Structure 1
């Protein structure tokens, strides 16, 4: 691992220790190569679970995508509901999973978001971390999953959070905005709202993603 990646890893480790959380941390769902030149970013909130899986890498995958290769919640690899939605999303926007800058806004694991200690400080750290990571990568499409992530990333990029569109799921809406050099799309959390696989959402999602949707 080069000096820049080591420094990034040490930055996360130090913040994790200071946070008071005790279930470990996880940053990228992809190999570290995505930090340099990935065209697409996909950012979730934080790693969930009540245990620290020994088989899950902390900083980044050695190869491949965690969404495709790992077994989550007792499902075969790549087959948990969230993994299936995310993989279908990647397919619809025409990117290989292991080329996406996919990771967690807050790297610290918790059973659920409410159970994370020092959430305010964790969000501040996550925002600062991803500001630097996104500037390094230069992604042209950034997809955020969940309102907390969108509300953190959008102002950082200078995006208008109020630019919402229906996505075919009742009153639930997506966010579409632009920043210098690219587009931000904000989605609801795909484990609860499986909009990617829902036929009624296909046309609204095409409108939301524009030319990125295939």
Structure 2
């Protein structure tokens, strides 16, 4: 289906949650949740920590695929690779992009193949401005809104911070606040989407957080 970036929900000044996929140095596929901002109809901006695999891969290959999906398991398992059976993303998740030298997610609702036009390091992050080379979106029926999806995504994002901050003494207040928020989100999800993929993800996520705290 022919579409523009704004047709897919991108707006100037608004962070949109996506999954960015790139090739690792060994040729395997990598995918990670990433908040992107619209520059214009042909450009997206992403600001990535220099220590992230996506940053390293994007600097090396100068291209990536921005994947849109409503599958919460994809968000979760691309955030925490050890949540996958082999401790890493399965090669079956990926297929080669049509135009750029990057993998794309087979399950994506839309894929945006991009090339990095500019990259600028700023402290511990690098800002990439990427141009759209190919955009494909599947035709879908309108979807009803469920509160569980954005709450689960927010919990996953918070949990990535918890994992990083747990061993930093001056961050313990923030860690405690994030964990309480995650607990609250889990309670709401159990109420609005019981026995769903969202409750399964939240149960695994909370167990994972407990295991980090015991280390």
**Larger Cα Rg: Structure 1 or Structure 2?**
2
Q: Shorter-chain TM-score category?
A: under 0.3
TM-score (norm 2): 0.27
Per residue, is there more strand in 1 or in 2?
2
Bigger relative contact order, structure 1 or 2 (CA pairs below 8 A, ≥6 apart)? 1
